[in-house]
Amino acid sequence: MSDAGGGPLEGLQVVEMEGLGPCPLAGQLLADLGAAVTVITRRSGPQDKTDINNRGKRSVALNVKHPEGLKAAQAIVARADILIEGFRPGVMERMGLGPSDCHAFNPGLIFGRMTGWGQDGPMAQMAGHDINYLGLTGVLNAIGTAERPIPPMNIAADYGGGTMFLLLGVLSALWERQRSGRGQVVDAAMVDGAPALMALIHAMIARGQWSEQREANWLDGGAPFYRTYECADGKHIAVGPLEPQFFALLVEKAGLPDAHRSDQNDPTTWAARRTDYAEVFWQKTRAEWEALFDGTDACVTPVLSWSEAPDHPHLKSRGTLQEIAGVTQAAPAPRFDRTPAPALRAPEAPGSATEDVLRQLGYSDEALADLRATGVLT
């Protein structure tokens, strides 16, 4: 049974300063769950249906370097619960939209700041990317082959350590505001968030259960029962039965030596078994292995390509991947039983909501015409 409405965040007013990376994803995820997200962008432009991070948002194009553009931006922020931005430290202050500026006219505003290195520290003003934040925190050194570290795309620091901690921060501050009535600044730094994801690994290091050598550990491909294998057709399967009872099923179904069950977690056996298991899994196609393990607890599943994933029966049954305006993309997550997320809609053109938003703030048609003439509306 679901309640009528537009998602669990319906009524939440969010302003997002246009940028790249984890901040736009944070805005997208908030919009997915029903928040009213208004992006302040630098200029108008054509609609791009592939710009998934901008789905469900309104876009306002303003020249905030012009006093009237800044005034309009401040009027939008004045009605917001949350502002999120991903600039280097000091940029928002130079615009006249820093935390002290905004709190002067909206003291309850939650001001979310997303950076790589944080708002302070000797590297705060340096450029960087996911690979750099992972490298500095020790995370990247643990990922890859035995020969070299390999970056896991940009999901670990940018999105895992960035977007998700920005969201945790602003929603936590929103909860606290219910008691204090006051807003605050949230300093979400990827260099802080990425290592926070590593609590289990830090615990294993402290217990002497994790080696700094790559491809030598339980979860980094070192264990023969937690890695991918190539099949007879050149495709791959993912094998991951960590628990003894699940590993026993792998041994049984794949025809591995039953003796392996007794010393599953003995690292001295792993190198030879990786080779042995590779030979076993090479004997069948991916589809044959998938059929053999389907419905079991052996934790063996196919490694699907981007184009294959939407058609997998499980993902299809849940609607995990959807096609919106011809573009395949992930459905909103997580899911709520009473207040489900609103239906997805394609990204709007940058600046397409400028006049509508300003009219809602009290700007007349004459005032809008003046702003267009003076270059405030871009």
Give the tens place of pLDDT for each residue, 97-142: 999 999 999 999 999 999 999 999 999 999 999 999 999 999 999 9
| Whether the Cβ atoms of residue 48 and residue 19 lie closer than 8 Å to each other | no
Give the integer Cα–Cα distance in Å for 118 and 89: 8
Give the integer Cα–Cα distance in Å for 80 and 16: 10
Please give the full DSSP string across 306-327, using - where no structure is assigned: TTTGGGSHHHHHHT-EEEETTE
Instruction: Please measure the distance between the N-terminal and C-terminal CA atoms of the chain and give it in whole angstroms.
Output: 45
Peptide bond into 241 cis (omega under 30): no
What domains are there in the chain, each with its CATH number?
Answer: 13-198+321-373 (3.40.50.10540), 213-230+236-302 (3.30.1540.10)
Looking at residue 64, its pLDDT comes to 96
Other CB atoms closer than 10 Å to residue 338's CB: what's the count? 10
Which residues are part of the catalytic machinery?
129, 158
What CA–CA distances, in Å, run from 86 to 6, 158, 169, 189, 307?
A: 27, 11, 14, 10, 31
Q: Any idea of the CA torsion for 91, 97, 98, 104, to the nearest 10 degrees?
A: 170
pLDDT band for position 1 (50/70/90)? Answer: very low
Read off the DSSP letter of residue 156.
Answer: I
Give the tens place of pLDDT for each residue, 192-227: 999 999 999 999 999 999 999 999 999 999 999 999
- Can you give the pTM of this predicted structure? 0.94
Contacts of 365 (CB under 8 A, 6+ apart): none
| Whether the Cβ atoms of residue 238 and residue 298 lie closer than 8 Å to each other | no
